[in-house]
Structure 1
């Protein structure tokens, strides 16, 4: 059981980077998405259909793998 807790202590720190995101303008909606995954220049919230606002958020870096 002690080795279980020790493995959590040795976990790598997550590398956070400032990332451009879109957040929903509706205060009751919690939806947001990364700008690089947006299909339009001014996206509409997929959850409530409200407009979205461009902001920056510290998020873990996503490493894209080559599928070829």
Structure 2
């Protein structure tokens, strides 16, 4: 039973790590897309809608 519980915890740890990496990768990809869209002249509101990133992040990208 202890081996099963340890195995289950290890699986959950690995799954959480993978899920976190996927989310971070998605955000990073959307951030890069947002930068390109801003460079093309789209408004911050349009970029936020297209990338699903919060408007605050888009504004920060524009100002950096």
Given the two structures, how large is their TM-score scaled by the length of structure 2?
Answer: 0.26
Q: Which has the larger radius of gyration?
A: 2
Question: Hey, which of these two has a bigger chunk of helix by percent?
Answer: 2
- Indicate the structure whose relative CO is greater, using CA pairs within 8 Å and at least 6 residues apart: 1
Question: Hey, which of these two has a bigger chunk of strand by percent?
Answer: 1
Given the two structures, how large is their TM-score scaled by the length of structure 1?
Answer: 0.26
